[in-house]
Structure 1
Amino acid sequence: MSTPRTLTLPDGVHPATLDTDRGSFATLQARPDVGTPLGTVLLVPGWTGSKEDFTPLVDHLARYGWIAVAVDQRGQYETPGPADATAYTLAEFGADVVAMSTALGGYSQLVGHSFGGLVAREAVLTDPSVFSSITLLCSGPGAFGDEVTRQGLQMLAFGLENLPIEQVYDLKLDHDSKELSYVAPASDVTAFLRKRFTGNAPIGLAEITKRLLDTDDRTDQLARSGVRAQVVYGETDDGWPLPIQDAMAETLGVRAQTVPDAGHSPAIDQPAATARLLVDFFHKR
Structure 2
Amino acid sequence: MGRPETPDTARPVGAAAADGVAPDRPPDASPALPPARGRAQRHPHGARTVTVDSSLGPLTAWRADADESAAVEGPPATAVLLPGYSGSKEDFAPLVDAIAAAGIGVLALDLPGQYESPGPETEADYRPGALGPVVAGVVGDEAAAGRRVLLLGHSFGGLVARATVLAGAPVHGLTLMDSGPGELPMGGRRTQLDVVEPVLRRRGIDAVVALRDASGEWSSTDPEVVALLRERLRRSAVAGLLGMGDALRSEPDRTAELVAAVRARRVPCLIVCGIDDDAWPVTMQRTMADRLEAEFASIPHAAHAPNVENPVALLDVLVPTWRTWLRDDMLG
Relative to the length of structure 2, the TM-score reads 0.78
- Greater shift, 163-172 or 21-30, is seen at 21-30
User: Offset of 1:21 from its aligned partner?
Assistant: 4.5
Q: Show the counterpart of 1:17.
A: 51
The aligned amino acid for 2:294 is V
**Alpha-carbon contact 2:151-2:175 (below 8 Å) kept:** yes
CA deviation string 1:97-123 (max 9, x = no partner) = 101111222641000001100000011
User: Offset of 1:15 from its aligned partner?
Assistant: 1.3
User: Offset of 1:36 from its aligned partner?
Assistant: 7.9
The reply on whether 1:167 has 2:179 as its aligned counterpart is no
- Percent identity, please: 33
- Measured at CA, do residues 7 and 152 of structure 1 come closer, stay the same or move farther in structure 2, by a change above 3 Å? closer
SS at match of 1:112: strand
SS at match of 1:188: helix
In structure 2, distance between residues paired with 1:117 and 1:29: 20
- Measured at CA, do residues 192 and 39 of structure 1 come closer, stay the same or move farther in structure 2, by a change above 3 Å? same
**Alpha-carbon contact 2:302-2:310 (below 8 Å) kept:** yes
| Matched length | 277
Off by >6 Å, runs of 4+ in structure 1: none
User: Offset of 1:252 from its aligned partner?
Assistant: 0.7
Q: Show the counterpart of 1:144.
A: 184
The aligned amino acid for 1:262 is A
Q: Show the counterpart of 2:20.
A: none
In structure 2, distance between residues paired with 1:206 and 1:22: 18
In structure 2, distance between residues paired with 1:219 and 1:267: 24
- Greater shift, 220-229 or 70-79, is seen at 220-229
User: Offset of 1:156 from its aligned partner?
Assistant: 1.3
Correspondent of 1:191 among 224, 227, 242: 227
SS at match of 2:272: strand
Correspondent of 1:69 among 96, 103, 107: 107
- Measured at CA, do residues 255 and 171 of structure 1 come closer, stay the same or move farther in structure 2, by a change above 3 Å? same
- Measured at CA, do residues 186 and 102 of structure 1 come closer, stay the same or move farther in structure 2, by a change above 3 Å? same
The reply on whether 1:126 has 2:162 as its aligned counterpart is no
Q: Show the counterpart of 2:16.
A: none
User: Offset of 1:255 from its aligned partner?
Assistant: 4.3
In structure 1, distance between residues paired with 2:308 and 2:187: 28
User: Offset of 1:149 from its aligned partner?
Assistant: 4.0
SS at match of 1:35: helix
Instruction: Structure 1 unaligned segments of length 5 or more: list them.
Output: none
Larger Rg: 2
Relative to the length of structure 1, the TM-score reads 0.90
The aligned amino acid for 1:214 is S
**Alpha-carbon contact 2:176-2:271 (below 8 Å) kept:** yes
- Measured at CA, do residues 81 and 151 of structure 1 come closer, stay the same or move farther in structure 2, by a change above 3 Å? same
The reply on whether 1:110 has 2:174 as its aligned counterpart is no
SS at match of 1:75: coil
The aligned amino acid for 1:205 is L
SS at match of 2:279: coil
**Alpha-carbon contact 2:39-2:222 (below 8 Å) kept:** no
